[in-house]
Amino acid sequence: MILVRNKELNGALHTIHQIEDNFNKKFHYPYVFLNDGKFNDGFKNRIREAVSGECYFERIDAQDWSQPASIDTERQKKAMKQLDSEGVGYAKQVSYHNMCRYYSRGFYNHPRMKQFKYYWRFEPNTDYYSDLNYDVFKFMQDNHKTYGFTISLYDVEQSVKTLWPETLDFLKAHPDYVNPNAATQWLTENLQNPHKTEMAQGYSTCHFWSNFEIADMDFYRSKPYSDWVEHLEKAGGFYYERWGDAPVHSVGVGLFEDKKKVHWFRDIGYKHHPYTNCPNGKHTKGCTAGDFTYKHLKDQNCLTNWWNFEMDDADKALY
Ligand code: GDP
Ligand code: MN
Q: What is the pLDDT of residue 124?
A: 98
- Options 213, 241, 257, 310, the catalytic residue: 213
CA of residue 274 to ligand 2 center, whole Å = 10
Q: Which atom of ligand 1 is nearest to the CA of 11?
A: 16
pLDDT score of 58: 98
Which of helix, strand or coil describes residue 33?
strand
User: Catalytic annotation on 54?
Assistant: no
Interface confidence, given as ipTM, is 0.99
| DSSP state at residue 74 | H
Which residues are paired to 31 by β-bridges?
A: 55
pLDDT at 127: 95
Atom 28 (ligand 1) nearest CA: 4
- Choose which residue among 15, 61, 88, 123 to substitute to test ligand 1 binding: the one with the highest number of ligand atoms within 8 A of its C-beta: 123
**Are the C-beta atoms of residues 112 and 58 closer than 8 Å to each other?**
yes
- Supply the pLDDT for residue 291: 47
227 CB under 6 A from ligand 1? no
Which of 232-269 are b and which e, b meaning 16 or more Cβ less than 10 Å from the residue's Cβ?
bbebbbbbbbbbbbbbbbbbbbbbbbebbbbbbbbbbb
Contact, 31 vs 13, CB < 8 A?
Answer: no
Dihedral class, residue 297 (left if φ above 0, else alpha if ψ from -120 to 50, else beta):
left
pLDDT at 196: 60
What pLDDT, on a 0 to 100 scale, did the predictor assign at position 208? Answer: 98
- Residue 4 identity (one-letter amino acid): V
Per DSSP, 318 falls in state T
User: Distance, CA 209 to ligand 2 centroid (Å)?
Assistant: 10
124 lines ligand 1 (CB under 6 A): yes
Please, which residues have CB within 8 angstroms of residue 156's CB and are 6 or more apart in sequence?
88, 89, 205
* Global pTM value: 0.96
CA distance 80 to 82: 5
Domain boundaries, the chain: 69-316
Task: Supply the DSSP string of 183-242, one letter for each residue.
Answer: -HHHHH--TT--S--GGGTT----EE-TTSEEEEHHHHHSHHHHHHHHHHHHHTHHHHS-
**Ligand 1 center to residue 12 CA distance, Å?**
11
The pLDDT of residue 161:
96
276 vs 273: CA distance, rounded Å = 7
Name the closest-CA residue to atom 14, ligand 1: 123
Q: How far apart are CA 280 and CA 105, in angstroms?
A: 35
Q: Is 233 in the pocket of ligand 1 (CB under 6 A)?
A: no
Inter-residue contact 151 to 291 (CB < 8 Å): no
Is the distance from CB of 195 to CB of 233 less than 8 angstroms? no
Ligand whose nearest atom lies closest to the CA of 96: 1
**Which of 3.30.1490.20, 3.40.47.10, 3.90.550.10, 1.10.3720.10 would CATH assign to domain 69-316?**
3.90.550.10
Q: Which residues of the chain have pLDDT under 50?
A: 291, 293-297
So what's the pLDDT on residue 301?
Answer: 84
Residue 4 CB–ligand 1 contact under 6 Å: yes
Which pLDDT value is given to residue 282?
54
Q: What is the pLDDT of residue 271?
A: 92
- Could you say which ligand is closest to the alpha carbon of residue 2? 1
Rounded Cα–Cα distance for residues 95 and 7 (Å)? 15
- pLDDT value of position 286: 75
